[in-house]
Amino acid sequence: MLCCEGESMSEWGRKGVVLSMVVLVGLMSLGQATAHEQETYNVIVVADGPMPANITDSDFVQGNAVVFRMKDTTENASIRISIDVDQNGVYENTTNATSVWLVESCELTENGTLLDENCAVSHAYEFALDAPPGTYTYRLERAINDSVVTTGEYNITLWKDVHEEPGVPNMGECFGIGCDEEVIEAASDETTREEALLVVAAVAAIGTFGLAVSILRDSKQNDALALEEE
């Protein structure tokens, strides 16, 4: 068994075990559900209202964001979005997400910066990863020449972010007769993962054996030195 120059067998054995265990833990984590990757849902607001008006897509889950984009080209039109974050039916609370008055376009300076730093054409809100699933309402106010002409309320359905285990069919997925190809693919992925874990387990076992051997040799060497000194 080879070891690096300047290192004892015990040092090499300990390093081998540590490295093996690190790799083993890393590969075992492959079988765990991956963290949710944030997605953004766009709502386009035109003269006739928001499109879509209500967000009901089951893919809109905790941690996702919604962006309202002002595309109403009516002269001197502006809109304001208020999301009832605490779900109490009151939009004026400071805990809710309320936008500034959004316009279709903002005037820029020669340097390309906003002439009015408060001017905005969109409003984004990101739901927290632990936000309670359910239906959130939002209010859309539309104004012409700074006078509110219409007010509407719409819904945002937030779904729970559920991580499914590999190989387990999700709701709506095909399984059983007629889905042999998908089942085979899932089984193949599971087999590959198991093989990888077996390889790393073998490496960990070799490292552990090396540590045991090195400790035994060091012990014998210490005993021999002790006898010589006597």
d(C-alpha 209, C-alpha 19), whole Å: 14
Task: Identify the band that residue 64 occupies on the pLDDT scale cut at 50, 70 and 90.
Answer: very high
- Both 151 and 58 in a single domain? yes
51 DSSP 8-state letter: E
Task: Identify the band that residue 100 occupies on the pLDDT scale cut at 50, 70 and 90.
Answer: very high
Range of 128's domain?
40-158
d(C-alpha 213, C-alpha 12), whole Å: 11
**The domain boundary residue, chosen from 158, 190, 210:** 158
Task: Identify the band that residue 27 occupies on the pLDDT scale cut at 50, 70 and 90.
Answer: very low
User: Which has more pLDDT, 143 or 13?
Assistant: 143
- Both 74 and 100 in a single domain? yes
pLDDT value at position 92?
82
How does pLDDT run across 165-187, given as a tens digit for each residue? Answer: 555 555 555 544 455 544 444 44
Is pLDDT above 60 for 10?
no
Is pLDDT above 80 for 225?
no
Instruction: Flag whether 209 is in a domain.
Output: yes
Instruction: Flag whether 216 is in a domain.
Output: yes
pLDDT value at position 145?
96
Alpha-carbon torsion angle 150, 120, 93, 51, nearest 10: 50
d(C-alpha 230, C-alpha 226), whole Å: 6
Burial string for 73-90 (b: 16+ CB within 10 Å, else e) reads: eeeebbbbbbbbbeeeee
Number of domains in the chain: 2
Instruction: Flag whether 109 is in a domain.
Output: yes
pLDDT value at position 7?
47
pLDDT value at position 175?
47
User: Which has more pLDDT, 180 or 37?
Assistant: 37
103 DSSP 8-state letter: -
d(C-alpha 49, C-alpha 164), whole Å: 36
Tokens 């999301």 locate to: 83
- Both 55 and 88 in a single domain? yes
Q: What is the mean pLDDT of the chain?
A: 76
d(C-alpha 222, C-alpha 219), whole Å: 5
Instruction: Flag whether 165 is in a domain.
Output: no
pTM above 0.85, yes or no: no
- Both 65 and 108 in a single domain? yes
148 Cα distance to chain centroid: 38
User: Which has more pLDDT, 130 or 112?
Assistant: 130
**Tokens (6 digits) for 48:** 């006739």
- Both 20 and 45 in a single domain? no
CB 182 within 8 A of CB 174: yes
pLDDT (mean) for 51-57: 96
User: Which has more pLDDT, 112 or 229?
Assistant: 112
d(C-alpha 12, C-alpha 209), whole Å: 11
